[in-house]
Structure 1
Amino acid sequence: MAEGLDLLHKQMDFSGCKIALICGDQLLTILRDNIPTIPWPGMWELPGGGRESEETPFECVRREVFEELALKLEEAAVIWAKEYQGMVNPDKISIFMVGTITQEDVASIVFGDEGQAYQMMAVSDFLASEKVIPQLQGRLRDYLEVQA
């Protein structure tokens, strides 16, 4: 079993999930709203969000990906998961996942009402950009180092 996938259905206390959805050497990114009162306004980030009620990590990320992009995330698409300190609430755990998507998935995206836009971004650009939330760059790097 790939690293951390036992986390997907764990009943645990966590604040939320983010997922790096990769297609080839491209990553699905979302441009956050440019509202001064939210964390990281106008920065690029990854799909995901806060946990609702008693969701497991996979239930949370599946719901968020559907709300934000109208994609039905299959569990088999998730290839890696790891616990991290929460970005907004450092006292809570957040779950970072990596998954794969197809060109057909990308073509079927219907962008929701959270964020300004989405785009497929080269993984190398995501890791190098100053317009990306730094914690997410670090988490993706952790995954890539394990794969190397």
Structure 2
Amino acid sequence: MNSRRRFYGAKVMLFAGDDLLVLRRDFAPGLAWPGMLDFPGGVAEGDEDPVACVLRETREELGLTLDPGLLRWVHLRDAGGRRSWFFAAHGPAGLVDEVRFGGEGLEWAAIPPMDFVNAPDAVWPFRGILANYLASEKKKPGRA
């Protein structure tokens, strides 16, 4: 990783109404967490910033062009010097009808968020990031 770069990649916990859009990772050689459930996102290209990275990856993986104003920064994960930004974005339930799977990974799905948190086949560090996000959202005024 270029030492000038502040981050390695970015992910988005993308909600379509009450569901979470997820991908199942493929089994490409050298890919971490093969076959596991994951959030849209990935490694930065060129001099992308975290927002540009996650918007590009979401377009490539799910065919969705997100409004950057929907993104809320949630978490910064440092794994061995690889800093990854995690965002949340909430869209309408109809967002699932706009998904055009881009072929990165094995499949995509819209699932209840707690199914991801509790799934033994979800990327384990991301399960905790989502659980913390959901807990923080519950504490906000006007939230159930």
| TM-score bracket for this pair, using the shorter chain length | 0.7 to 0.9
Give the paired residue count: 135
CA RMSD of aligned residues (A): 1.7
Q: In structure 2, what residue type is equivalent to 1:110?
A: R
Counterpart CA distance in 2 for 1:110 and 1:62 is 15
Structure 1 residue ranges without an equivalent (≥5): 1-10
| Shift, 1:82, TM fit | 2.3
* Deviations, residues 92-122 of structure 1 (Å, cap 9, x unaligned): 2110111112233210111012101000011
| Shift, 1:12, TM fit | 5.5
Residue 109, structure 1, aligned to residue 99, structure 2: yes
Counterpart CA distance in 2 for 1:114 and 1:14 is 22
* Deviations, residues 26-68 of structure 1 (Å, cap 9, x unaligned): 1001011134642111111010000111111110100000011
Q: TM-score, normalised by structure 1?
A: 0.84
Query: Do 1:71 and 1:109's aligned partners in 2 also have CA atoms closer than 8 Å?
Result: yes
Identical-residue share of aligned pairs (%): 33
1:71 to 34, 50, 64: 64
Structure 2 residue ranges without an equivalent (≥5): 139-144
| Shift, 1:76, TM fit | 1.9
| Shift, 1:146, TM fit | 1.8
2:15 to 9, 14, 22: 22
Query: Do 1:17 and 1:95's aligned partners in 2 also have CA atoms closer than 8 Å?
Result: yes
Q: TM-score, normalised by structure 2?
A: 0.86
Counterpart CA distance in 2 for 1:97 and 1:30 is 16
